[in-house]
Amino acid sequence: MPFKNQDNTSEKELLYALKNGDVVAFDKLFAAYGKRLYHFSYGYLKSQEDAEEVVQEVFLRIWRNRKNLNPELSFKSYLFKIAYNYILELFEYVNSKNLYKHQIVEESFIFNDETNERLNYQLLLEKVEKLIEKLPSRQKEILQKRKKEGIPVKEIAEQLGISPKTVENHLTEAIKNIKSSLSKEDISALFFLLALGVFFDFYL
């Protein structure tokens, strides 16, 4: 989607200005992306307060690290990736027992401009959980021991009487199977459902 700004200033120009500490450019970028970032975060967290916190934290990090911005790269993808990582931090703080599923999502799903705003995170987690249940028994067992219980590879190998290399191979295959299954599903139905369950204009 094209970047929109009332005075016809391009996003790239705003980013270069932001790198130099231009507060006006920062405010314009916030106006352009703040609302969409809020809806994206709400889709994960289902909390207005938490979603607002994500927006504030993301733009605070953008401001603090403004000198490291690369205006030649997609600011939108960069912005939503920061949001995604911060949301993971919140999930880890609130509910560490489910973190392994979030980590599997991160390993299996690639963010891009086409999907990052429209991802229904809860559906994705449910999908991953179902895919884990369908894994071959040994892959499932090792994946849960490593990701859910946090057991080191070496210890898993000792428990199961196999080599650490075999454990790593099972982990690799498990993630590969999940990733492959996600790519074969109807992505538009799975990932493009709007986070709030209602239609709203992403172009605002």
Domain boundaries, the chain: 11-94, 96-196
Q: How many CB atoms lie within 10 A of CB 20?
A: 9
DSSP H or E stretch at residue 108: helix 99-108
Instruction: Please give the CATH architecture assigned to the domain spanning 11-94.
Output: Orthogonal Bundle (1.10)
Residue 23 and residue 15: Cα distance in Å, rounded? Answer: 11
Residues 6+ apart with CB under 8 A from 70: none
Buried b (16+ CB within 10 A) or exposed e, 24-55: ebbebbbebbbebbbbbbbbbbeeeeebeebb
Q: What angle do CA 188, 203, 59 make, to 5 degrees?
A: 100
Top CATH class, 96-196: mainly alpha
| Predicted TM-score (pTM) of this structure | 0.48
Largest CA distance in the chain: 67
Q: Is residue 29 within 8 Å of residue 18, measured between CB atoms?
A: yes
CA–CA separation, 159 and 141 (whole Å): 11
Q: How far apart are CA 30 and CA 20, in angstroms?
A: 16
| DSSP tag of 185 | S
Q: How far apart are CA 37 and CA 76, in angstroms?
A: 10
* pLDDT per residue as tens, the chain (204 positions): 445 555 567 899 999 999 999 999 999 999 999 999 998 888 878 788 888 999 999 999 999 999 999 999 889 889 988 998 888 887 766 555 555 665 665 665 555 544 444 455 556 667 777 888 889 999 999 988 887 777 888 999 999 999 999 999 998 898 888 777 765 443 333 333 222 222 222 222
